[in-house]
Structure 1
Amino acid sequence: MDVVSALKKLKDNGYKHTDKREDMLTLFSEEKRYLSAKEVLENLQDEYPGLSFDTIYRNLSLFEELEILEVTELNGEKRFRFSCETNHHHHHLICLQCGKTKHIDVCPMEDITLKASDFNVTGHKFEVYGYCSACQ
């Protein structure tokens, strides 16, 4: 995902283009890591002094709903990043300190056979947490 694609997706779904939304999306395009709502607010407060945490969180939730952003939970806090542009199935290694991610191109679900034949898997998420070489 990139800023132009994200703004188009917002417009295609009936949402207005605002400078705040564009600046939020630009932040995600520059960071390339998971960000908390607090980090987003801190980055935008100089430009928008009256910006509230509620406004940030509402927009983050909208971006997640439209699959512009993907979400994970680190240390009990939701964190967001641009959705991956790859179309192939993959998972992530996530640094607990800086939030950077790396793709894992294998899926452990391929090795799992479900004994309960009456259970229909509709999705899954697999993340590995640790520390990148810069944060070790």
Structure 2
Amino acid sequence: MDYGKALERLKRNGYKYTGKRESIVRLFAMQDRYLSAKEVQSCLSKDYPGLSLDTVYRNLSLFEKLGILEGTEWEGERRYRFRCDEDRHHHHLICTECGRTRTIHICPMNAILGEPEDFEITGHKFEIYGRCAECGNR
């Protein structure tokens, strides 16, 4: 996903471009990493001093519902990033220090389950958390 595609998806689904929504989308385009709602609020507080955490959560939830953002849970907090454009099945390595991700194109589910009998797998999520080389060298 990128800035232009995200705004087009909002428009196509009947949602208005507001300054706050555009700023949130721009932030995710610039950061290219997982962000918490608190981080989003903090980054936008200079331009929107009265921006409430509720407003941020509502917009992040909408963006996730529309497939603009993808979310994950770690350390008891929901975090978001731009949804991957890849149609190919993949998973992520996630740095818990900086929030950046790296795509991995192997699926451990194949090794764990193979093709289970009498059960159709319709989806799953697999994430590996750790520190990227840049954060590990600090």
SS across alignment from 1:110: helix
Task: Provide the C-alpha distance between the structure 2 equivalents of 1:61 and 1:129, rounded to a whole number of angstroms.
Answer: 23
Q: Give the letter aligned to residue 4 of structure 2.
A: V
Identity over the aligned pairs, expressed in percent? 58
Deviation of 1:114 (Å):
4.6
Q: Give the letter aligned to residue 33 of structure 1.
A: R
SS across alignment from 2:60: helix
Task: Provide the C-alpha distance between the structure 2 equivalents of 1:114 and 1:90, rounded to a whole number of angstroms.
Answer: 18
SS across alignment from 2:135: coil
2:52 is equivalent to residue 63 of structure 1: no
2:114 is equivalent to residue 113 of structure 1: yes
Write the deviation string for residues 68-106 of structure 1: whole angstroms up to 9, x where unpaired: 001111211000000012221110000111111000011
Deviation of 1:113 (Å):
2.4
Write the deviation string for residues 11-48 of structure 1: whole angstroms up to 9, x where unpaired: 11111111110100000001011000000000001101
Number of corresponding residues: 135
TM (norm. structure 1) is 0.95
Q: Give the letter aligned to residue 126 of structure 1.
A: F
Q: Give the letter aligned to residue 72 of structure 1.
A: T
Task: Provide the C-alpha distance between the structure 1 equivalents of 2:49 and 2:103, rounded to a whole number of angstroms.
Answer: 36
Q: Structure 2: state its 5+ residue gaps.
A: none
Q: What is the alpha-carbon root mean square deviation over aligned residues?
A: 1.0
